[in-house]
Chains A and B, each alone.
Chain A
Amino acid sequence: AQKITQTQPGMFVQEKEAVTLDCTYDTSDQSYGLFWYKQPSSGEMIFLIYQGSYDEQNATEGRYSLNFQKARKSANLVISASQLGDSAMYFCAMREGHNTGNQFYFGTGTSLTVIP
C-alpha cells in the first residue's frame, strides 16, 4: 500500500482565493511526522509546514495551514489568498517514528496553477 496518497494530479485556483490540496497517509506507527513541500519549476524542494502526530493543534505557517484529521489519516494543505508565485508542484511527505533514520515517504504530488 502507498504510504502517502495525493489524489489530485492538477489543481487550478483563482488568485487571492483559498485552495485545499489533499493528502492521506498510511502508517501503523503512533508517532510520525507529516510534511508539505513545494517544488517550483526550478526543481528545488521548499519546506512549507510540519505536523507531528501528537500535535493537538493544526499547524499554521503564514498563508499555509495543515488540516490534520488523525482518525481519517488525512493531512490536507490549505493555502489562503493564493498568489501567482504559488504555482508549483506540492508534495506531501511522512516520516515514521519506528524508523531510527530520517527516511521520508513522498506522495506523487499535486500541480497547482494560480490563475490571475
Chain B
Amino acid sequence: KAGVTQTPRYLIKTRGQQVTLSCSPISGHRSVSWYQQTPGQGLQFLFEYFSETQRNKGNFPGRFSGRQFSNSRSEMNVSTLELGDSALYLCASSLVGGMRGANVLTFGAGSRLTVL
C-alpha cells in the first residue's frame, strides 16, 4: 500500500516568490492535513481538508492557502515568500475526520523549503 507522497522533497526559492507543494494521500484517505515544522516553533497546524472542503485552519496569514481535489490529492500554496517561511512542510492523511477510534495521521516525508 503506497504511503503519503509529497512533492517536491526539496526546493529553494527567493523572497517574494510563491511556491506550490503537492500531497497524495493514502488511497481511501479523505482527510488531508498540512503542518509546518520549524526548529523555533515546532509543528504547527496549517489546515485540514476533507472531501474538498477546508474544515480547520491554523493561525497562519492568508499567504498560506490550500485546496483538495476530488481524488483527495491536496496542494498548498505560499505566496510572497518570506525568510521565515523556510521550514519542513508535512502533509498527513487519515481515513475520516472527527473522534472515531484512533484516526491516526499518516505523514509523508515532507517538503523542505528554503527561502533565500
- Which residues does A use to contact B, with CB under 8 Å? 31-33, 35, 37, 42-47, 50, 52, 91, 95, 97, 99-109
Contacts and interface: CB of A to CB of B under 8 A. Distances in A.
Given A45-B92, A101-B48, A104-B33, A109 B105 contact: no
Tell me the interface secondary structure of chain A in the complex: loop
Contacts of B58: 103
Contact of B45 (A44, A91, A103): A103
Nearest to A6: B42
Given A43-B112, A91-B43, A100 B98 contact: yes
Given A43-B112, A44-B108, A50-B104, A101 B42 contact: no
Q: Give the dominant DSSP class at B's interface.
A: strand
A103 B56 contact: yes
Contact of B105 (A42, A97, A102): A102
Interface in B62-100: 88, 90, 92, 94, 97-99
A46 B105 CA distance: 9
30 contacts: A33-B102, A35-B102, A35-B104, A37-B107, A42-B109, A44-B110, A45-B107, A46-B107, A47-B104, A47-B105, A52-B101, A52-B102, A91-B43, A95-B103, A101-B56, A101-B97, A102-B50, A102-B56, A102-B97, A102-B98, A102-B103, A103-B33, A103-B45, A103-B56, A104-B33, A104-B45, A105-B45, A106-B35, A106-B43, A109-B42
